[in-house]
Amino acid sequence: MHVLAIETSCDETSAAVLRSGVVQAAPPKPEERGHVPEVDVPEPPAAPEILSNIVLSQDEVHAPYGGVVPELASRQHIKTITAVVGESLARAGVGLGSIDLFAVTQGPGLIGSLLVGLSFAKGLAYYHKKPLVGVDHLEAHLEACFLENPGIAYPALGLLVSGGHTALYFMEGPLSCRLLGKTRDDAAGEALDKIAKFLGLGYPGGPVIEKLGRAGDPKAFPFALPRTKDRSLDFSFSGLKTAALKHIRERGLAKDDARLPDFLASFEEVVARTLVDHVRAAADRVQPRSLVLCGGVARNTRLRTRFQSLARGSGLDAYVPSPKLCTDNAAMVGAVALKKFARRPDPSTDLDLDAYARS
């Protein structure tokens, strides 16, 4: 079975073709149309094979503004989606007629951007008379880990750190996760992006902070670990961001300052420590069998290293996707769609699927 997945939730236009061994459901008999049977189909035994996963970044479009401009993002998706989908099929060596299932990100994300991918996917599925599965973007990020490691033991504790979200999930089994805590203000990636913007370092901020901070001393600047007053597992990064902006102003830090590597390393360090401390607290509470880290910020070496050492210290297995599966990509969307379809094989094309901006 082949799935063509489309992801346009923010500023990456992505399309992927995946192949799984799941047997396609037989079309329903006429009298059953409109009724969706709950068929107990086993989970795919192995991870699907990624035949292609094309990601076209819009970084160059948004960089001059220091962040994503929603209207420009949706216009850019419109311009590029046909070519990106075409390239994903060409690289996979699969024609549209051989696609058995279409998958698309429904939300959360920028509503205009989401609608581009959703409308495109609907058009393809309708024309080819094939099922269309809507996928939650956050669920897709969590799934990225399982694409490379299908045998991750449940229950798993998942930390999702992206540009728009910072959240902890308790994953009891496939397609079943419970939110344990999330950010009350800025996401971790957003804080990195805002500091980089303030210093005029460009967009996205995470990679440039990582690059410039590599040679710095992470203890040079004294940042207090942000804490929420109650016992909740929620995050808060806006206080940390304000403290960083205060340092920049008071010490007159600029783009070409010799102290910049130390400053950036210290900021990155406190962000990584805060994230990992939350994972430790959550793990103590829910006693998972494995730990999973995902989202764009999971590309960060400092965070990956701290996360792995927490796992080693706790005797848990830890999983982080390879860098290209951390940032937004359609392969993770296709992987969720295959699991959803295997569980509920509805062969009709759902043209009522709608996009949602917030989860």
The H or E element spanning position 14 is: strand 12-19
Q: ∠ CA 210-14-180 to the nearest 5 degrees?
A: 60
Q: In the complex with Zn ion, which residue's Cβ is closer, 58 or 162?
A: 162
Sorted by sequence, the CB contacts under 8 Å of residue 274 that are 6+ apart come out as 188, 225, 226, 235, 237, 240
Q: In the complex with ligand KG4, which residue's Cβ is closer, 48 or 189?
A: 189
Q: In the complex with ligand KG4, which residue's Cβ is closer, 212 or 316?
A: 212
Using CB under 6 A, pick the residue from 327, 332, 338, 355 that binds ligand KG4.
327
Q: Is 7 in the site for ligand KG4 (CB under 6 A)?
A: no
Q: Is 335 in the site for ligand KG4 (CB under 6 A)?
A: no
Q: Scanning residues 8 to 27, which ones bind ligand KG4 (CB under 6 A)?
A: 10
Binding mask 152-171 for ligand KG4 (x = CB under 6 A): ----------xxx-------
If one counts every other C-beta atom within 10 angstroms of the C-beta of residue 82, the result is: 12
Contact, 87 vs 115, CB < 8 A?
A: no
Q: Is 216 in the site for ligand KG4 (CB under 6 A)?
A: no
Q: Which one of 116-124, 204-212, 226-234, 274-282 is the stretch in contact with ligand KG4 (CB under 6 A)?
A: 204-212
Q: Scanning residues 283 to 322, which ones bind ligand KG4 (CB under 6 A)?
A: 295-297, 299-300
- Least distance in angstroms from the C-beta of 206 to ligand KG4: 2
Q: In the complex with Zn ion, which residue's Cβ is closer, 113 or 349?
A: 113
Q: 249 φ, ψ to 5°? A: -70, -50
Strand-strand pairing, 176-182 and 156-161:
unpaired
Using CB under 6 A, pick the residue from 328, 330, 334, 340 that binds ligand KG4.
328
Q: Which residues bind Zn ion (CB under 5 A)?
A: 162, 328
Query: Which amino acid is present at 83?
Result: A
Tokens representing residue 166 in the block = 């910072």
Q: Which one of 32-40, 79-87, 202-210, 334-342 is the stretch in contact with ligand KG4 (CB under 6 A)?
A: 202-210
- Least distance in angstroms from the C-beta of 189 to ligand KG4: 3
Distance (Å, whole) CA 239 – CA 185: 9
Contact, 3 vs 340, CB < 8 A?
A: no
Contact, 77 vs 117, CB < 8 A?
A: yes
- Least distance in angstroms from the C-beta of 312 to ligand KG4: 22
Contact, 101 vs 1, CB < 8 A?
A: yes
Out of ligand KG4, Zn ion, none, what residue 66 binds, judged by CB under 5 to 8 A for its kind, is: none
- Least distance in angstroms from the C-beta of 203 to ligand KG4: 8
Q: Is 117 in the site for ligand KG4 (CB under 6 A)?
A: no
List Cα–Cα distances, 210 to 4, 73, 182, 207, 266, in angstroms. 33, 25, 24, 5, 11
Q: Which positions lie near ligand KG4, rule CB under 6 A?
A: 10, 162-164, 189, 192-193, 204-207, 210, 295-297, 299-300, 327-328
